[in-house]
Amino acid sequence: MPTNAVHHIKDPLYETLRTEDISAFNAKKLTRGDLPSFSHGDFRGLDLRGMDTTGLDMSHAYFRGADLRGIDFSHSNLEGASIAGAKISGSFFPDRLQASEILMSLNHGTRMRYSTGT
């Protein structure tokens, strides 16, 4: 498998998300010292509302059709992620993601690029 391919991550926290048990994920995340990388993770179609994304590397992740409403992504890494067709009402995104990048990804599935400006 290519290194940039979307895949399932072998980690109990990821498996908790795959079962959409968000309260268990948030509780386990608080007690865990080292957080896994969710880079290139497959989150297609999942209901992730209420997920604590603080400090998570979700770069290049795939969120097609996922329910991301109300999630605060402002303190996580979403560079290269795709949110095609996702529900994003009330979500907060990192400051370095311009609205045009978010809309292109939402409407066309492009990978979101962080702005390089200040």
Counting every residue written for the chain, the total comes to 118
> What is the C-alpha separation between 22 and 45, in angstroms, rounded?
14
Distances in whole angstroms, Cα of residue 60 to Cα of each of 21, 23, 37, 79, 100: 22, 24, 11, 6, 18
pLDDT (tens digit per residue) in 12-56: 999 999 999 999 999 999 998 889 999 999 999 999 999 999 999
From 86, 80, 87, select the one nearest 110 (Cα to Cα). Answer: 80
What residue segments make up the domains of the chain, in order of their start? 1-118
pLDDT (tens digit per residue) in 59-113: 999 999 999 999 999 999 999 999 999 999 999 999 999 999 999 999 999 999 9
CATH architecture observed for domain 1-118: 3 Solenoid (2.160)
Phi, psi at 25, each rounded to 5°:
-60, -50
| Residue 35 DSSP label | P
